[in-house]
Amino acid sequence: SSGINAEYGAKEVVETALKNGVNYIDTSPWYNNSERLLGEVLSHINRNKYVISSKCGRFYSDDILEWFDFSYDRITESIENSLKLLHCKYLDICFCHDIEFAPTMEVVT
């Protein structure tokens, strides 16, 4: 299946990059399965060998195509989910994802 080949290729790219000195990785729950795939690769690599950032505030919902929620509870939930998928104890950086496109300031509380 091309999905399996794509996942293998993505993992190989990350492993090769890390072996060749790249040490900063940026991801997001918004980027499909990137956190899960990165977590599979990173779980075998010493955590002090890379810097990782993810994002919060923008996510998929079954009812709404583009959903924004920058509330404390949603940000906390997003970070916890990212840590679980990435097999990490902490993120070095967490960005508010596309906060400038949030439809109203009401979602930024």
In the set 8, 24, 31, 90, the catalytic residue is 31
User: Active-site residue 50, yes or no?
Assistant: no
- CA-wise closest residue to 6 among 25, 27, 28, 34: 34
Q: Which two tokens stand for residue 62?
A: 């079954």
Q: Name, in order, each residue with C-beta under 8 angstroms of 24's C-beta and a sequence gap of 6 or more.
A: 50, 51, 52, 53
Q: In angstroms, rounded to a whole number, what is the distance separating the alpha carbons of residues 27 and 43?
A: 15
Q: Catalytic residue positions?
A: 31
